[in-house]
Chain A
Amino acid sequence: MSIDTTPVLLEVAGLKKYFPVKHGTFGRHHHQLKAVDGVSFGIRSGETFGLVGESGCGKSTCARTIIRLYRPTAGRIIFEGQDIAPLNSSELMPVRRKIQMIFQDPFASLNARMTVQDIISEPLDIHNIGTPAERRDRVDGLLRRVGLDAAHAGRYPHEFSGGQRQRIGIARAIAINPSLIICDEPISALDVSIQAQVVNMLEDLQADLGLTYLFIAHDLSMVKHISDKMGVMYLGRMVEMADSREIYANPLHPYTQMLLSAIPIPDPKKARARTPVPMDREIPSPLDLPMGCRFVDRCRQSLAICREIEPGLCDTGAGHWAACHLYR
């Protein structure tokens, strides 16, 4: 394996985000919900890093903390060499110009009372880029770039379909030439035929503009398709991380193996040849985690040590990381 010399654009180290949860009469009992509990990974410039996991695993919280919609409980978020975890909102302004986000729900993420022109030029207004005429030209260009008609700039979001709205969201995200785009389930709300259109467009934009993506989804086949590297999260922890193809070809962590065996394959012979997924316990509450490894209750290969000591993420060779006692 050759050594990759592309610079690391984003490095997350020991990121934690806890939420206080109140219980009992007048909320006297305080608990901590450990949504993200010590996650570390890096994304090289121009790369796509996929983050997968079941609902509640902390993948969206992780993304929102990186873009600093949340204040991290602990850890470092090093973006272009600068730790942005401790910055306050005015210090964050220049950083936010470089990190943009695309959201899951194309209906909720666009202001229904603004025209498409205003929605896409809002980031330009906030960051004081260009004259009004230049901004209008820029919006026209962006609309064409995402495959929409520039003449529709005066319309409102409700006049567009879900796929078109997601394109508007993408145009808004790339308006100020960011280097990192966080895509939080950008295609889950779209129809199959439209999903492929949007994914192809994201790939084209990456090639043309040199974008770096953090791509979050629960659809593992789509994450495998789009990402170069990926991480699997389980209850706030990264349990496995490697090259995407390597993860699919050779999953190490029992949780990753379980996830992969559950993906429905659109091929009747292959789908039926697989052994059915055995009945499993469901995810424990993040407020009441088991001792040791968080996956221990659902794991079929657990050892005695798994109930006592929580395994850390370690390199099993060739950049394939797993947090499991089986590979120590």
Chain B
Amino acid sequence: MGATLLEVDNLTTSFFTHQGEVQAVRGVNFRVNAGEMVGIVGESGSGKSVTLLSVLQLLKSPGKTIAGRALFKGENLLDKNERQMRALRGDCLSMIFQDPMTSLNPTLTIGEQIMETLRVHRRISRKAARHRAVELLELVRIPSPDQRLNAYPHEFSGGMRQRVMIAMALSCDPDLLIADEPSTALDVTIQAQIILLLKQIQRELNTAVILITHDLGVIAEAVSRVIVMYGGMIMEEASVEDIFYRPRHPYTWGLLASVPRVDVEEKQRLSPIAGSPPDMLNPPAGCPFFPRCRFALQICRLKIPAYFSSAPGRRSLCWRLHPGAPDRNRFLERQKNYVN
């Protein structure tokens, strides 16, 4: 595993709306190493997208990052001004979004859009840029790239457009690619191809990838390390095997038990998490998951839990894991009920 590429420290972001302060991200810490693929999983409103938008300074008003640092190769991105950020975004840091149609300019050909990124960051001739653009389309497995460069976005299908977005994001050999729900708007067969493509790119080019998704299946397929977010906080972080086979947080248990499994023969009833996600305008004073948690203690209501770690690289935000918590071992045994 490579050196630390991105280190996010105590990141706090809120949206200042007419109703009040929506606390979208509340003190998030995590690291991404060079060349690794990390997944951030969470439901809508968990803060997973806002975290990365804050890191890239792409938040729109009324969103504002109030505190924290985001060290990329040792430099704090949150100290940089818009001009400096623009030089970085699309160069060593790239992002792709869920909807490839709204992220592409419908009035320019695919080739012009890829070449634009290259010419802004690399100051190369049109001819060299065109040559590179063909290479990039080959890299993302678009057939007959030479002709496709002259096509407009509307002439491409959804999956092909997402490939073009990935090609653009890769144009300057970024160290870090942030993919925000890249396959969510696509059909299942196309989704599988896009995830496969991201995995191949991560391996071939040694690009670090942060994959943001709500789909546990995509997480299991693609990433090596998982961050589970809820209510603007990281609930659990662990290797992909630990998250799926040895999770320690009741929210992760709830997520795993909510999804039906095609690979399991007999029909089982789903066990949903009761209740609904917290209102981030008035988040609970204690653990954000406390109102829906079946294992909540008195302290969970009052005080935000600390992280408890059972091994290097894994941590869970839950009072039940405190060494002095009542019935700690019995609690941990409950894990078996949620894991297949």
Contact = CB atoms under 8 A, between A and B. Distances in A.
Instruction: Answer whether A and B are interacting partners.
Output: yes
Nearest to B266: A245
Interface string B186-208: 01111111011000000000000
A196 B214 CA distance: 14
Determine which residue in A225, A266, A279 has the highest number of CB atoms from chain B within 10 A of its CB, and name it: A266
A55 interface: yes
Contacts, number: 131
B264 to A, nearest CB: 9
B157 A218 contact: no
A282 B260 contact: no
B220 interface: yes
Interface in B109-137: none
Contacts of A200: 269-270, 272
Contacts of A191: 43-44, 214, 277
B265 A264 contact: no
Determine which residue in B160, B188, B214, B220 has the highest number of CB atoms from chain A within 10 A of its CB, and name it: B188
B244 A280 contact: no
A197 B272 contact: yes
A203 B262 CA distance: 18
A199 interface: yes
Given A200-B270, A268-B241, A277-B193, A192 B188 contact: no
Contact of B190 (A261, A271, A272, A282): A282
Nearest to B271: A196
Given A196-B271, A221-B259, A249 B244 contact: no
Main secondary structure of the interface of A (DSSP, over half): helix
A140 interface: no
B217 A195 contact: no
A195 B271 CA distance: 10
B262 A277 contact: no
A221 B259 CA distance: 8
Determine which residue in B44, B244, B272 has the highest number of CB atoms from chain A within 10 A of its CB, and name it: B272
Given A163-B276, A193-B43, A282-B190, 17 more contacts: A161-B276, A192-B216, A192-B258, A194-B276, A196-B271, A196-B272, A197-B272, A197-B274, A221-B262, A225-B267, A225-B270, A264-B192, A265-B220, A265-B221, A266-B259, A276-B196, A283-B157
| For the complex of A and B, 5 pairs with smallest distance between CB atoms | A264-B217, A196-B272, A225-B260, A262-B192, A191-B43
